[in-house]
Chains A and B, each alone.
Chain A
Amino acid sequence: MDTLTIAGREFRSRLFLGTGKYATFEQMREALERSGTEVVTVAVRRVNLDEAGSGKSLLDFIDPKRFLLLPNTAGCYTTDEAVRTARLAREALGTPWVKLEVIGDPKTLFPDNEGLLAAARTLAGEGFVVLPYCLDDPVLCRKLQDAGCAAVMPLAAPIGSGLGIRNPHNLGIILETVTIPVIVDAGVGTASDAAVAMELGCHGLLCNTGVAGAKDPVLMAEAMRDAVAAGRKAFLAGRIPKRRHAAASSPTHGMIE
């Protein structure tokens, strides 16, 4: 059985799914179900104390026994904010897993490399299982591995952009550079993007907007499930080399005259 192992935990699905931007909690639950995912990301935010506390909450729709809840530090712009948010998430969820984000720019949501590395070192030192959202930079990924991260999550393209795999060559070099799993994060717009990432040899893929923003998010969740599985199988099967000219599939001898 082909499985993904991160920090000693084994997953059958290589698709991670976000929980943001769905029209309803019910729709999100259905998408998670159909995607086959085992890892779902969540965000940490202040409780709105002006609202009554009796409303439905996200966690009413996700069974924490079935899914690994992976809290993120989205929206944090400093190492300090990200570290504090990770610590709060650990207390709220009872999990040391964190998808670490330290954002450097509001327009592109590109990460702040120095801030990210500093936060990764601190949190890994405190026993967190750190999965950093990072640029598709092989040198940075090696530094994140050295910092004690359990995986790296290089972006395919800006968060929510749907631009797909912008730099397959860098992802390839990252795969040659680090020994920890490489989970493509951000920018996946449709199923073929997911398949491309997996065909490159990436170990997994996280998608949120590509699913939640689709016209039919539940069907797209299923498409992503199939694409990740197909891309992984193609990688394992080993694709043929590309060539400029034709190579006949049918025998060239024995033709009638």
Chain B
Amino acid sequence: MIRVRLNGVEREFADGTTVAAMLAELGRAPQWAAVERNRDVVPRTAYTTTALLDGDVLEVVHLVGGG
């Protein structure tokens, strides 16, 4: 298992989990969302090839109402 910090909370994922697999496990469709890994945006096109590593800090954001 690997431990990551996801949206400020410690979570565990199986070794080799990709960003795409993480979003699927969380039940989140990638449309209108964005992922940051260790302060860099992960491009949508790299979701299936970017594997999470132990100690990663991840942010998953989406759009909400605002002014």
Contact = CB atoms under 8 A, between A and B. Distances in A.
Interface of B: 6-9, 26-29, 32-36, 39, 41-44, 59-67
A169 interface: no
A186 B60 CA distance: 28
Contacts, number: 105
A35 interface: no
A49 B63 contact: no
A74 B34 contact: no
A35 to B, nearest CB: 14
A53 B34 contact: no
B26 A53 contact: yes
B39 A84 contact: yes
Given A46-B8, A47-B33, A84-B36, A92 B67 contact: no
Interface in A29-64: 41-47, 49, 52-54, 57-59
A204 B35 CA distance: 33
B65 A18 contact: yes
B66 A88 contact: no
B28 to A, nearest CB: 5
Contacts of B39: 84
